[in-house]
A and B are shown apart, each in its own frame.
Chain A
Amino acid sequence: METVEKARHVATKADQKAYSEQTLWMLAIRDNRDKRAFGLLFDHFAPRLKGFVIRAGAPAGQAEDIVQDVMLSVWRKAHLYDPERAQVSSWIYQVARNRQIDIIRKEGRPMPEALKAEAEETEPDAGQVLALEQETDVLRDALDRLNPDQRDMIEKAYLGELTHSDIAEATGLPLGTIKSRIRLGLERLRHELKDLR
C-alpha cells in the first residue's frame, strides 16, 4: 500500500510538467504569490475579459474598472483555486460573473458551502488536473464547431443575457451537447467528491 502511494506521488510530480501554461501560472500565483506569473495571466485574460464584460452589458467607460476589479479578485482569491475542480478559464469566468453582479446589485449572492477538503489539500492529483484540461479543450473545440446562431445562444446564456426560462425554452440550444463533452471528467470528479466527505 505504502509503495503504491509513493509511486503515485512520483508520477504526480512528473505529470505536473505537462500542465498547461495557464494552470502553472495560476499555481505559481496561489502557492508563491508570483507577480510575474500574474502579469502573464493578466496579459492573456484581461483583454478577453474586457471583451466579455462589454458583451455582458457593461458601459465602455466602466469596462476597465470591472476588469481591474476581476483581475484583483483573481489575485486575492487565488487560495480558492483548485486545478482538480476547475480549469483556469472556468474559475476566472465564475470570478468575473460574480464580481460583475456584485458591482451591479451591490450585494453578494448565495454561494454553496466550501468542501472541507479544499482547505486541507496540498498536492493536486495530476491525473485529474490533466484530464480536466483535456476535456476543457475538447469543450472549446465543440464550441468552435457550432453554427453561428447556436454559438450566439450559448454565449448569451453564459454572459447572463438569458433568464432560466429563456434557456429552458430556447430551441436548438446545444447545452446538453456542450456539457456532455465535459461530463466524463466530471463523473470521475463526482466519485472523488464522495470520497472527500
Chain B
Amino acid sequence: MSEQISHHIPDAIMAAYVAGNLPRPFALVVASHVSMCDECRANLLAHQAAGGAVLEGMAEEKLSGGMRDRVMGALDDAIDVEPEPASRQGIYPGPVVDALSGKPPKWKKLGGGVRQCILDMGNEGSARLLYIPAGRPVPEHSHGGLELTMVLQGGFSDSTGHFDVGDVEVATDDLEHVPMADEGEDCICLAATDAPLRFSAFVPRILQPFFAI
C-alpha cells in the first residue's frame, strides 16, 4: 500500500507535529498519513531523535528536595490505563477511527453529490471527511492559510498533480486549485484547514453557517 504513496508530509509540518505545536486538525492528517506511510514514520522518528538531542543538551535545573522520593513513592500507585490508539477500519486509518469514536461517518449533503462529515471544529481550524463522486470536481473553496488533504479512497487530480490513496496534498492560500475526483471509484478525503473552509460553488454563503462549513 505504501509503495505508491508519492506525496508526503513536509519537514516543517512534521517537526511541528513532533514538537506538539501543530494545530489539531493538521495533527490528525499527519497521524493518519504516518499510520499508512513507512517513509514518514521513519522521518517522524528522525525528528524525535533531533528533539531527544535537544533534551539531552538542556542545562540541568536543580530539583527541590523530596521530589525524587515523591516520584519513587508513586511508582506503585494504581492508575487508569489509557486507551491504545485505534487500529484501521476499512479505508479509515486509526486516528480517523478515533476521531469518529469508532462509528461510521455521518454524512451530510453539500450539493452536487458531495458530502461531508465534520471530525473536528475549533479555534485551531477544522478537519472533515469529504465524499466526492467519481469524476466530479471538489467544490470550489477558499481557505485562510494551510490546507492538507489526504486521499482515503479513490483519487483526485488538480494542476499540481495526481493524488492516490495515502497521498497528502499541501495547499497554501495562494494555490487556486479545482481538484477533480478520478473516474471509477468515488473519492473520500480527509481535509484539514486552519481557517473555516468556505465553499463558494454549491452553497450560498448565507447558508454556510447552517452547514457549518
State the Cβ distance, A31 to closest chain B Cβ, in Å: 16
State the Cβ distance, B79 to closest chain A Cβ, in Å: 6
Alpha-carbon distance A71/B55, docked complex (angstroms):
14
- Can you list, as one digit per residue, whether each of A45-89 has a CB less than 8 Å from chain B (1) or not (0)? 111111110110000000110011001100110000000011111
Q: Is the CB of A52 within 8 A of B68?
A: no
Alpha-carbon distance A183/B46, docked complex (angstroms):
7
Specify which of B41, B55, B84 is in contact with A93 (CB 8 Å cutoff): B55
**Interface range for A:** 35 or more
- When distances are taken between beta carbons in the complex, the residues of chain A under 8 Å from B54 are 52, 93, 143, 154-155, 158-159
User: Which of B92-100, B108-116, B181-189, B205-213 forms contacts with chain A?
Assistant: B92-100
Which residue on B lies nearest to A183, using beta carbons? B46
Which residue on B lies nearest to A190, using beta carbons? B42
Alpha-carbon distance A64/B34, docked complex (angstroms):
32
Judge if A38 is at the interface, Cβ distance under 8 Å: yes
Alpha-carbon distance A118/B21, docked complex (angstroms):
26
Q: Is the CB of A186 within 8 A of B38?
A: no
- When distances are taken between beta carbons in the complex, the residues of chain A under 8 Å from B62 are 47, 50
Q: Is the CB of B55 within 8 A of A144?
A: no
Alpha-carbon distance A38/B73, docked complex (angstroms):
12
Alpha-carbon distance A89/B41, docked complex (angstroms):
18
Judge if B144 is at the interface, Cβ distance under 8 Å: no
Judge if B130 is at the interface, Cβ distance under 8 Å: no
Specify which of A46, A178, A190 is in contact with B39 (CB 8 Å cutoff): A190
Specify which of A72, A165, A168 is in contact with B74 (CB 8 Å cutoff): A72
Q: Is the CB of B85 within 8 A of A159?
A: no
Tell me whether A178 and B59 are in contact in the complex, defined as CB-CB below 8 angstroms, given that A35-B72, A186-B42 are known contacts.
no
Q: Is the CB of B68 within 8 A of A42?
A: yes
Q: Is the CB of A158 within 8 A of B84?
A: no
Q: Is the CB of B63 within 8 A of A64?
A: yes
- When distances are taken between beta carbons in the complex, the residues of chain A under 8 Å from B174 are none
User: Which of B12-20, B157-165, B196-204 forms contacts with chain A?
Assistant: B12-20
Most buried by A among B64, B72, B99: B72
Q: Is the CB of A158 within 8 A of B56?
A: no
Q: Is the CB of A89 within 8 A of B52?
A: yes
Alpha-carbon distance A168/B48, docked complex (angstroms):
18
Which residue on A lies nearest to B81, using beta carbons? A76
Alpha-carbon distance A73/B51, docked complex (angstroms):
18
- When distances are taken between beta carbons in the complex, the residues of chain B under 8 Å from A14 are none
Q: Is the CB of A109 within 8 A of B49?
A: no
Residues facing B in A92-141 (CB within 8 A) are 92-94, 96-98, 100-101, 109-114, 135-136, 139-140
Q: Is the CB of A48 within 8 A of B45?
A: no
Alpha-carbon distance A193/B36, docked complex (angstroms):
11
Q: Is the CB of A111 within 8 A of B95?
A: yes
- When distances are taken between beta carbons in the complex, the residues of chain A under 8 Å from B74 are 68, 72
Specify which of B2, B20, B55 is in contact with A92 (CB 8 Å cutoff): B55
- Can you list, as one digit per residue, whether each of B87-126 has a CB less than 8 Å from chain A (1) or not (0)? 1100001110011000000000000000000000000000
Given contacts A72-B71, A110-B31, A163-B21, 12 further A-B contacts (CB under 8 A): A42-B68, A50-B60, A64-B63, A86-B49, A97-B18, A111-B31, A113-B87, A113-B88, A158-B18, A162-B16, A165-B146, A182-B49
Q: Give the top 9 A-B pairs by smallest Cβ distance, nearest first.
A: A90-B52, A89-B52, A47-B60, A113-B94, A168-B12, A50-B61, A164-B16, A110-B31, A167-B12
